[in-house]
Homo-oligomer: A and B are copies of this chain.
Amino acid sequence: MYAVGLMSGTSLDGIDAALVEIDNFGKKTKIKLIEFITTSIPLDVKDEIKRACSEEQSSVDLICSLNFKLGYLFAEATKNVCNKAGITLENLDFIASHGQTIYHLPKSRDSFIPSTLQIGEPAIIAYETGVKVVSNFRVMDMASGGEGAPLVPYSEYIIYGSDEENIALQNIGGIGNVTVIPKGGDINSIFAFDTGPGNMIIDEVCQRLFKLNYDEDGKIAANGEIQNDILDDLMSHSYINAFPPKTTGREEFGQQFVDELLKKYNNKKPEDILSTVTMFTAKSIAVNYKNFIMNKVNLNKVIIGGGGAHNKTLLSYLKNELPNVSIVTQDDIGLSSDAKEAIAFVILGNETLNNNFSNVPSATGAKEKVILGNITPNPIRRV
């Protein structure tokens, strides 16, 4: 059967829609990517998302409206990917939508309790497409005491689990996150955590200093010089050395973080700053690998996914930092980096519809395995 996975990451690169053919579930899942597209988010909506994520600029009316607005964009993204593949909505069995995270609080803070908030109203998606929607995957893991992230480990286990190699899957979206799948292990042997920033700081610096959305192929960073004083300063961030399980987001490495960085180092050359934050991103990944992964398993292979897989400078920095490990991109091994997360949510949605668990407690810190997400029926009964 056909399903569409929808993902809109913290990097605000656009709405990823993956149309896949999926059959069976659990370890017997058969999945094939049919089509993938990224639908860009209009600038005014992107601005609304940034404001909705900000403790200072957000408000209930903005969040209420934006939840519906994103629902319409997610429905449009679904239609776009189906159109491109020549498949009608009637042939779609379900849509699995991650939504747009606007806040994620893995630990209590003052009077606020651990919680997470993804928006992009599933009722709008279901009504506009006439297809049932599985959504809001993170909340149930948090209900069970987990951090609600990362959720990709389950799908990575389904797709990449190997009897021969210890594999790390490094996703570089807005945030960097890693899943370690020891060879021949069952799902309980998997562990995963957020390594720290992915493209978030790089993109924000690019926008501030070069008026570009991102550093294409890492070309600008390749021409700068790494500033060790800034790098040391950045590497002292408490998140880098914190023990997993741990998750992070825009509230830690977003606009405010870059504001302070650029204010403090306003005497430095723009391309040097970009090289340095690119190195910081690579090194934050490498340090986490050395401290929390390579001390446990003999790592054979790292597979890089997400938008950051296209940043050649970031990859070369990372290879230098981890000289004894084979580092390849998902595209190198014939899989789409860009579609990875959108495909992951189809796998999770499929488990929910089959009444099966799909969180990985060793990755999220949850007390137990739970069925994730909720189901919005197709609201219009077909006679």
Binding site for B on A (CB under 8 A): 44, 48, 52-56, 58-65, 67-69, 71, 102-105, 109, 111-117, 121-124, 126-128, 135-136, 139-140, 142-144, 352, 355, 357, 368, 370-381
Contacts A/B (CB < 8 Å), 30 sampled = A54-B60, A55-B59, A56-B59, A59-B59, A60-B117, A61-B105, A64-B102, A64-B105, A64-B112, A64-B117, A65-B113, A65-B115, A68-B139, A69-B115, A71-B143, A121-B143, A122-B374, A123-B142, A124-B143, A126-B140, A126-B143, A127-B370, A355-B377, A370-B379, A370-B380, A371-B378, A371-B380, A371-B381, A374-B374, A375-B375
Name, among A65, A114, A135, A378, the residue most crowded by chain B CB atoms within 10 Å (CB to CB): A65
Closest 4 CB pairs of A and B: A127-B143, A65-B112, A58-B60, A370-B379
User: In the complex, which of the residues B48, B65, B127, B372 contacts A144, with contact meaning CB atoms closer than 8 Å?
Assistant: B127
Task: Tell me whether B103 and A123 are in contact (CB under 8 A).
Answer: no
Residues of B within 8 A of A53 (CB): 60
Q: Which residues of B contact A144 (CB under 8 A)?
A: 127, 379
Q: Secondary structure at chain A's binding surface: helix, strand, loop or mixed?
A: mixed
Task: Return chain B residues, CB-CB under 8 Å to A124.
Answer: 139, 143
With contacts A58-B63, A69-B113, A144-B379 known, what are 16 further pairs, Cβ within 8 A?
A52-B60, A61-B103, A64-B103, A64-B104, A64-B116, A64-B117, A68-B115, A68-B142, A127-B370, A135-B374, A368-B380, A371-B379, A372-B379, A373-B376, A374-B377, A375-B375
Complex interface: chain B residues within 8 A of A127 (CB)? 140, 143-144, 370
Which residue of B has the minimal Cβ distance to A125? B143
- Nearest opposing residue in chain B for A109, CB measure: B61
Shortest distance between the CB of A99 and any CB in chain B (Å)? 13
CB–CB A55/B60 < 8 A: yes
A143 close to B379 (CB less than 8 A): yes
Q: Within 8 Å CB of A59, what residues of B?
A: 55-56, 58-59
**B375 pairs with A115, CB closer than 8 A:** no
Question: Which residues of chain B are within 8 angstroms of A374 by Cβ–Cβ distance?
Answer: 122-123, 135, 374-377
Complex partner residue of A379 from B62, B69, B111, B140, CB under 8 angstroms = B140
Q: Which residues of B contact A368 (CB under 8 A)?
A: 380
> In this complex, what residue of B is CB-closest to A353?
B377
Please give the distance in Å from A274's CB to the nearest CB on chain B. 29
Q: What residues of chain B lie closer than 8 Å to A370, measured between beta carbons?
A: 127, 379-380
> Nearest Cβ distance between residue A178 and chain B, in whole angstroms?
25
Question: Cα distance A23–B148 when bound, in Å?
Answer: 36
- Chain B residue with the shortest CB-CB distance to A133: B374
Q: How far is the CA of A128 from the CA of B370 in the complex (A)?
A: 12
Q: Complex: how many Å from CA A377 to CA B373?
A: 8
> Which residues from chain B contact A142 at a C-beta distance below 8 Å?
68, 123
Select the residue from A44, A53, A54, A121 with max chain B CB neighbours within 10 A.
Answer: A121
A355 to B123, CA, bound (A): 15
